[in-house]
Chain A
């Protein structure tokens, strides 16, 4: 079983780099740490960056997860091949563009692209954004799935993920003591559902909610509370149809032995305990 160290970054391709950069900095509240003609890197915590916007013809998304070393990466490549996934080794140049030593990329059965990275850059300088959004860091990624459980099998059998809870067939998968780092929601298509950043507390979540409204950002879900992870959430529309969320107060799963995944009913109340409005079809239940 391949151990995932942590969630590292999300790489989004965008046809309009200037608009995406403006959104990530001014609206979302990330800090620009590096800018090249075709890539902009954003910091949210002590990771060098957790979001990259890259110039592209059409929107794309890759989620990067860290593995410990080159040996683990080699083992992952074999394990993926054995499970029927074609993984591609990144070239040295591509690795440099990602500020990692080595990586390989592969797509899951729903077409979600992942990168396994070795030795991604860390920062000695703390995150210092232009706007006080109260961001603590990249928390988790929600993805769409067409593959009827194949993703759950991939991340729990080939990798060391554990299911924390299910809502209907949607699976919340953890790799550390956070309730989940990846969530897969059944859908008619693949791709990112929401990229979620943790904020300090409920005050920051609600302050951001009023800020987004004042900036006329389209809020598509929440503010609400997830009965599964106990996270407070607020989801809003970003560039290229990608959604972003602020989350706070999520449950920690400290005792691996004692936690048993719970099955929640497939209805809206399992996604929000506050009864908030939601425009996202996958989260209607």
Chain B
């Protein structure tokens, strides 16, 4: 079993690196931690970086998860290869570019590029965004899945994820006490479906709603509240059509033995208990 400890970062290709950087800093509220010849690193919390934009194909997405030890990394590589996944062992240069000690890369069953990283760099300096968005950190990702039932098995049987709730066929998966760190949404293609940052309070969600609305950022869902995780949320569109989410107040699952997942309907009511309707293809029938 591959023991995922946390989601570490996402790497996104973009046709307009400067435009994407402007969005990530001035609108989303992240901090540039480093500009290199390969791309731009952004931090959102105590980690050295949680988002990396590079000049390239906007469909090129990578999601990285942290594992606990080099043995875990080696075991994971063996297990994935035994299951028929082509595993790429990261070179020293690639690892340095990711600010990790070592990593492997592979595709999940839908074709999403996943990296397992060991010893990702933490930062001595705290995050200080360009605007006061109240961000407390990069928290979870939505992944596109061409077959959610199959991919649920991959993440829960091959990896250590547990189903916290389902919306239709879309499972919300946890790897620690946070309600979900990975969510799989049905889609005809692969890709990262949304990127979530937690903010301090519901007030921050609403402040950002007004701030972004004034700047004509396209709102795609919310403000609202998820009946599943009880988090208040706002989804909006960033560069290259990527959906970003702010949320606050996500449920914690303290008791693994007593907790039971629930089935929610795949309609607006399953996604929002305030009455907001999603304008996101993967959240619609």
- A: residues with CB less than 8 A from B are 202-203, 206-207, 209-211, 214, 223-225, 273-277
- The answer to whether A225 touches B206 (Cβ under 8 A) is yes
**Among candidates A203, A207, A210, A223, residue contacting B206 with C-beta atoms closer than 8 Å:** A223
Residues of B within 8 A of A276 (CB): 206, 210
A203, B275: Cβ atoms under 8 Å? Answer: no
Contact A277 B207 (CB under 8 A): no
Chain A residue numbers with a CB within 8 Å of B202 are: 202
Interface size on B, residues (CB 8 A): 16
Q: Does B273 contact A (CB under 8 A)?
A: yes
Tell which of B211, B223, B273 touches A275, judged by Cβ atoms closer than 8 Å: B211
Any A CB within 8 A of the CB of B191: no
Contacts A203-B225, A206-B224, A206-B225 hold; do A274 and B206 have CB atoms under 8 A apart? yes
Q: Once the chains bind, are B274 and A275 in contact (CB under 8 Å)?
A: no
Partner of A210, one of B207, B209, B232, B274: B274
Min CB–CB distance A36 → chain B (angstroms):
36
Would you call A207 and B275 a contact (CB within 8 A)? yes
Q: Which residues of B contact A (CB under 8 A)?
A: 202-203, 206-207, 209-211, 214, 223-225, 232, 273-276
Asked if B274 contacts A207 (CB within 8 A), the reply is yes
- Say yes or no: A225 contacts B203, CB within 8 Å: yes
The answer to whether A275 and B275 have CB atoms under 8 Å apart is no
Q: Which residues of A have CB within 8 Å of B232?
A: 202
In the complex, residue of chain A having the shortest beta-carbon distance to the beta carbon of B273: A203
Q: Within 8 Å CB of A209, what residues of B? A: 274
Knowing that A210-B275, A275-B207 touch, tell me 15 more A-B residue pairs with CB under 8 angstroms. Answer: A202-B232, A203-B273, A206-B274, A207-B275, A209-B274, A210-B276, A211-B275, A214-B275, A224-B206, A273-B207, A274-B203, A274-B210, A275-B211, A276-B210, A277-B210
| Nearest-CB residue, chain A, relative to B206 | A274
Instruction: Closest A residue to B209 by CB, please name it.
Output: A274
- A39 to nearest B CB, angstroms? 33
Q: In the complex, what residues of A have CB within 8 A of residue B275's CB?
A: 206-207, 210-211, 214
Q: Which of A203, A209, A210, A225 has the most CB of B within 10 A?
A: A210
Q: Nearest-CB distance from B174 to chain A (Å)?
A: 23
18 contacting pairs across A/B (C-beta < 8 A) = A202-B232, A203-B225, A203-B273, A206-B223, A206-B275, A210-B274, A210-B275, A210-B276, A211-B275, A223-B206, A224-B206, A273-B203, A274-B203, A274-B206, A274-B207, A274-B209, A275-B211, A275-B214
